[in-house]
Structure 1
Amino acid sequence: MYIYNVTINIDDAVHEEWLTWMETHILDVLNTGKFISAKFTQVLVDEDMGGKTYSVQYTANSKEDLEDYYKNDAESLRIQSAKKFGDKMLAFRTELKLIKEFYPTNVSN
């Protein structure tokens, strides 16, 4: 599996509006059919540049699904973000390949 991670710093002036908008935006990304799930998290750090930072992790079954998203969907969805929030939002993207997941074993206390 692959994780498409988008880390976003959002200006305090539009923070609440952006949070509401993100619920729709994340569903728009999922509805492209390229991802099977998404996790929306807040990065717990005080930013020198101000604002608040979040991460959205979209899970794709394959590299091909991720490439298809880039080719057919990513640009139009990024344009929507830029039109709505412009320079009040700074985003960077990272691809991750899941190697293995680990879970706790039954531990007695």
Structure 2
Amino acid sequence: MILYNTTYSLAAEVGPDWVSWMQKFYLPAVLATRLPVGHRMLRLLTEIDNGGLTYSVQLDFNDMTDYTSFLELHADTMQKRLQHRFGGQFVSFDTLLEEL
């Protein structure tokens, strides 16, 4: 199992709208690609109080082939949608993990 994690840091005032949009639009669009086999969205509880919020969005893939297909076919479009909706209000970084 391959886990593709994206960590997002955003301004606190944008948090509720961002969470709602991710749950109603972004994640359903990602799952509609039929490449991820699972997902979760989490809020980081142990962060330095910088006035913002940190979330993790994790997508599960059966193997590297499915993950690579997602990146090649869909990741740019999904990122553009997120940037269009919340551009300048968040920063993010990705982590790729393998379940042992």
Q: Which runs of 5+ in 1 are unaligned?
A: 100-109
Quote the Cα distance in structure 2 between the aligned partners of 1:72 and 1:47: 36
Q: Which runs of 5+ in 2 are unaligned?
A: none
Indicate the SS of the match to 1:82: helix
1:41 maps to 42
Indicate the SS of the match to 2:70: helix
Report runs of 4+ in structure 1 exceeding 3 Å deviation: 46-49
Kindly tell me the number of residue pairs found equivalent between the two proteins: 99
1:17-55 deviation digits (Å, cap 9, x = unpaired):
111101021121111111001011111123454310011
2:9 maps to 9
Structure 2 length-normalised TM:
0.92
Higher relative contact order (CA 8 A, sep 6+): 2
Compare the two structures and name the one with the higher strand fraction: 2
Percent sequence identity over aligned pairs: 28
Indicate the SS of the match to 1:87: coil
Indicate the SS of the match to 2:87: helix
Bigger CA radius of gyration: 1
> What is the RMSD computed on CA atoms of the aligned residues?
1.2
